[in-house]
Structure 1
């Protein structure tokens, strides 16, 4: 893939993501008035746990699809992904049942379906990216984010509570997976279910489950721990405020970052040498930083007013949190698209070690802020801790040898 191809792919995904995010952003104030902070907190707890499991739903083998140049090999690898996913969903059935019995949280019963939809969408997104079907990826995002918001509004009008939020998000994510499920693999979709030798393929790409799986799981775990800590320390409404704030604050990163990373990853695997790859990464880092700075300044100046105006007085606490999280949001906006760099450069072991340090710093900053200043203090604690972490990460990528 040449540079113009990267630009076209990124713009295609960016256009789809902009359309996909437009509906949630426009409908967000309505959704916030249809559901209470407590309902949002219950939904967010289950959805975050589902996302944590789904991020490793295929043991990260789906990210090796870009490395398989032959169609037969890619089909075999996709078959391996589906076998692993079936095992993870089975485990989610047990986790969801035990969680519901222990906590009395009814929506935990939907955990397996949420895991299935999220993991399938992620795997088939990588499948479509490998084939260069960036339009399918773009429409998948429209289905997932835009369709999810529409479904949540409809179910909110029916007063479905946390079930409406969860069902809307799960259904839309499943539709996104179907949209991305082309082209058919060599041998057809049924061929993936036939017995075939998968051991050699599993061994060939073993770095992904061994190194990238704990990395990805740890990264998602910080969101799970954050929601769990807030729910235990302050209650479901405050956990809901955190979830609402992060959902909308991270929307720009999902919009730009997701589009860029899915186009950047295949490009990095095909660069002629490391110098060319590093120059490409440097350009993207500077571009992302230029976009992140205005976002941070707006949140620092107007965060509480924006959230109260858009979502109602009951969400002003989320606006205070948005202000304190502004530095972290800007840093995350820059870092999110660059997470694929270590995959392409074969630096997964280094990335795992760094990520584990980062997760510890995140949770420590969150807990310290909670202890000293409540919800807003948690945001300032996270921002301070992540400034150190991401600062080192950016310096390492900039100077990579």
Structure 2
């Protein structure tokens, strides 16, 4: 990496290490306070809220780093605020339906979770535009680390799945408030006085984000939601809890490293000179990520079952078997996770959407037969096998991309 990219990544990575270390270290205590069934109920509703929150600003928030003028950024912020408010209101109706007919007692908290997740994502991109990497690291520490501590305290009060939900939502809202500075041009109050024509102009300038990136992001989150629904339907709430816990720990390294790298990689790719530097940055990132992913996968294959059973207790034994089966997929996902911003920077979102749809078909082609034939472990092996081809093509395509916008212009 170039020194400035490495320095920014390490700043975010330091915050991420602390933020993720707290919930990961508290995990063994949480699994003794919350049953697999309680964890499964929380995980299912949290997945639904995440599915909505990821598109709560119609992905206009991801266009913020593209706005170099403060006035244009303020217009985009005003647009995001209105969309988030509307989506949160709509999620209240969805929550009411789930509570009345879906037998989900947590469903009333859906709008709170959507507002928290949507605001955190929106204001993370606002801070990313200003390259406030220290503030981003602190916010991540509050959201992840603080959330686990609150969940632990509420678990001691025997609040069940509601304790898990309130712990996650409350600290996400607190982290979003931390990122709400500096204020946009004109101040926060001015966002609600923004002329309609300015909002329309901002929406048109970045129309590819709601048209192309929103379906991509929504379908990506929908994959996790439908997976939990299938696991819960076919094997019960306890299995859904096992799945959610395993994926939380297995994807933690990707969230840790990938989140830090993507937030620094995105603006770096946008400003790369037209001399092949952008493609070289992506290739170096792939190689560096692969060097970390392969040893992690080897550990899971050799000692996954023993490690998970020792850490979380006998009632979570299935988690380790699932971890071993998912090891190849997790390694591939680790490398791919931070590269999602590459196609946004290179204006290849239509291509990314088509490829993502194919990838989701392959994911479920491995998941469903695996669940029927071998339970959770069978599903893990099925996904690892089916996604190998998808990720192999994805990495090859990015490493050899021919149509990088600023290079073509040059």
Tell me, yes or no, whether TM beats 0.5. yes
> Matched residue pairs, number?
400
CA distance in 2, matches of 1:113, 1:333: 30
Q: Are the aligned partners of 1:225 and 1:363 in contact in 2 as well (CA < 8 Å)?
A: no
CA distance in 2, matches of 1:85, 1:229: 29
Give the match for residue 367 of structure 1: 368
- Asked if 1:353 corresponds to 2:354, the answer is yes
Quote the offset at 1:5 in angstroms: 2.1
Report which stretch shifted further, 229-238 or 354-363: 354-363
Quote the offset at 1:87 in angstroms: 1.2
Give the match for residue 160 of structure 2: 161
CA distance in 1, matches of 2:303, 2:178: 38
- Asked if 1:321 corresponds to 2:322, the answer is yes
DSSP 3-state at the match of 1:183:
coil
Quote the offset at 1:274 in angstroms: 6.3
- Aligned pair in 2 of structure 1 residues 4, 227: CA closer, same or farther (>3 Å)? same
Q: Which runs of 5+ in 1 are unaligned?
A: none
Give the match for residue 38 of structure 1: 37
Give the match for residue 20 of structure 1: 19
Q: Which runs of 5+ in 2 are unaligned?
A: 403-410
TM-score for both structures, normalised by structure 2: 0.96
Give the match for residue 284 of structure 2: 283
1:165-198 CA-to-partner distances (Å, cap 9, x unmatched) read 0100001111110111111110001111114220
Give the match for residue 149 of structure 1: 148
Give the match for residue 274 of structure 2: 273
CA distance in 1, matches of 2:50, 2:362: 21
Q: Once superposed, what is the RMSD of the aligned Cα atoms?
A: 0.9
CA distance in 2, matches of 1:363, 1:113: 30
Give the match for residue 181 of structure 2: 182
Quote the offset at 1:3 in angstroms: 3.3
1:329-358 CA-to-partner distances (Å, cap 9, x unmatched) read 111100000010000000000000000111
CA distance in 2, matches of 1:335, 1:109: 35
CA distance in 2, matches of 1:395, 1:86: 40
CA distance in 1, matches of 2:103, 2:374: 30
Give the match for residue 9 of structure 2: 10
Give the match for residue 387 of structure 1: 388
DSSP 3-state at the match of 2:158:
coil
Give the match for residue 108 of structure 2: 109
Q: Give runs of aligned pairs for residues 2-401 of structure 1, distance below 5 A.
A: 3-196=2-195, 197-273=198-274, 275-401=276-402
1:271-297 CA-to-partner distances (Å, cap 9, x unmatched) read 112611000000000000000001000
Q: Are the aligned partners of 2:60 and 2:210 in contact in 1 as well (CA < 8 Å)?
A: yes
DSSP 3-state at the match of 1:193:
helix
CA distance in 2, matches of 1:148, 1:280: 34
1:96-122 CA-to-partner distances (Å, cap 9, x unmatched) read 110111122110111111010001000
CA distance in 2, matches of 1:364, 1:101: 32
CA distance in 1, matches of 2:87, 2:10: 34
CA distance in 2, matches of 1:359, 1:80: 30
CA distance in 2, matches of 1:389, 1:172: 36
Q: Are the aligned partners of 1:43 and 1:107 in contact in 2 as well (CA < 8 Å)?
A: yes
1:260-280 CA-to-partner distances (Å, cap 9, x unmatched) read 000100110011126110000
Q: Are the aligned partners of 1:9 and 1:263 in contact in 2 as well (CA < 8 Å)?
A: yes
Could you list the structure 1 runs, at least 4 aligned residues long, displaced by more than 3 angstroms after superposition. Answer: none
CA distance in 2, matches of 1:175, 1:336: 26
Quote the offset at 1:4 in angstroms: 2.4
CA distance in 2, matches of 1:359, 1:96: 26
Report which stretch shifted further, 272-281 or 374-383: 272-281
